[in-house]
């Protein structure tokens, strides 16, 4: 299967700082990447859809100015959590879809964010 790399795997930061998470498709090109958030014992919640070369599409209730998404190339999307607060602490997971109509999603390893 396709490989999606996500870094860092774990971040601990102080309240008010910004955190950048990278998501790379290693062996395929991904025109579309997705960012999910998962709280303990809950399912994946889609935050936004990242499209290469255009603005991301955010789900209802997700603040686009707080969660900045950049998809500058066919293999890289970044999520920046700006001015992080303790309530932003969560498991963030990116996923990518193979270009060409294949709907299967391949997930990165996830980033556990803890905001103190």
Partner 1 sequence: QKEVEQNSGPLSVPEGAIASLNCTYSDRGSQSFFWYRQYSGKSPELIMFIYSNGDKEDGRFTAQLNKASQYVSLLIRDSQPSDSATYLCAVSVSYQKVTFGTGTKLQVIP
Q: Is the dihedral angle over the CA atoms 17, 32, 96, 27 positive or is it negative?
A: negative
Stretch 4-23 residues interacting with partner 1 (CB under 8 A): 6
**Closer Cβ to partner 1, 85 or 104, answer by number:** 104
Q: Does 74 bind partner 1 (CB under 8 A)?
A: no
Residue of the chain from 52, 76, 89, 110 that contacts partner 1 (CB under 8 A): 110
Q: 76: buried, middle or exposed (CB in 10 Å: 19+, 13-18, 0-12)?
A: middle
Stretch 23-62 residues interacting with partner 1 (CB under 8 A): 32, 34, 42-44, 46, 49
Residues at the contact surface with partner 1, assessed by CB under 8 A:
1, 6, 32, 34, 42-44, 46, 49, 91, 93, 101, 103-110, 112
């Amino acid at each position: 299967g396709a490989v999606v790399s996500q870094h860092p795997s774990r971040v601990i930061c102080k309240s008010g700082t910004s955190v950048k998470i990278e998501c790379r498709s290693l062996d395929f090109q991904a025109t579309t990447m997705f960012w999910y958030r998962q709280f303990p014992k809950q399912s994946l919640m889609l935050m936004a859809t990242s499209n290469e070369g255009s603005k991301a599409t955010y789900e209802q209730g997700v603040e686009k100015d707080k969660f900045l998404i950049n998809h500058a190339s066919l293999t890289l999307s970044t999520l920046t959590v700006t001015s992080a607060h303790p309530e932003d602490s969560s498991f963030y997971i990116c996923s990518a879809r193979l270009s060409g109509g294949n709907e299967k999603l391949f997930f990165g390893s996830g980033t556990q964010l803890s905001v103190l």
